Amino acid sequence: METTTTFSKEEVIFRKGEQSKYAYIIRSGKVGIYKENDYGKRTLVRILRKSDLFGEMGLIDKYPRSATAIALENSSLTVVDNARFAFLSKYSPKFFVILVKTLTNRLRDTLGQLKNDGTQVELSNTMEYKMLNKKEIKK
């Protein structure tokens, strides 16, 4: 099922640890994705805007929510349940491309954050490393 719902500014859409039942596509407004430390302090890790997809990770891997989502302004969201998400992933090339781009951007952001934190990242088995290595060989 796919419906549209609204969230007021500062309203919680979902919390870290909750069971993942829905993915969301932003129709209007902005949504903040927050990580929380062990003491409950929230850190904004991403701002999402119109047409962004979020909440999909739990539908894919069946794990509880890994972050908290809060409306940063009045927002209208398309709510996609698990059955509709599975259908769109399988039968809608447009949706599948959006999903892959979303996951790819998150992976790039995560790798960038690890790099900026001074954390060592082993890239030898990643596609990015292989592509960079291939370009150097062709030169």
Three-state secondary-structure class, residue 102? helix
Three-state secondary-structure class, residue 120? coil
Cα–Cα dist 119/110, whole Å: 11
Reading across the β-sheet that carries 22-28, which strands appear in turn? 2-7, 75-81, 22-28, 53-54
User: pLDDT by residue (tens digit) across 4-30?
Assistant: 999 999 999 999 999 999 999 999 999
For 110, the domain range is 2-138
pLDDT of residue 122: 53
Total-model pTM: 0.76
Domains: count for the chain: 1
Whichever domain contains 72, its CATH number is 2.60.120.10
CA 59 to chain centre: 11
Each residue's pLDDT tens digit in the chain (139 positions)? 679 999 999 999 999 999 999 999 999 999 999 998 888 889 999 999 999 999 999 999 999 999 999 999 999 999 999 999 999 999 999 999 999 999 998 888 878 777 666 555 455 555 555 556 555 444 4
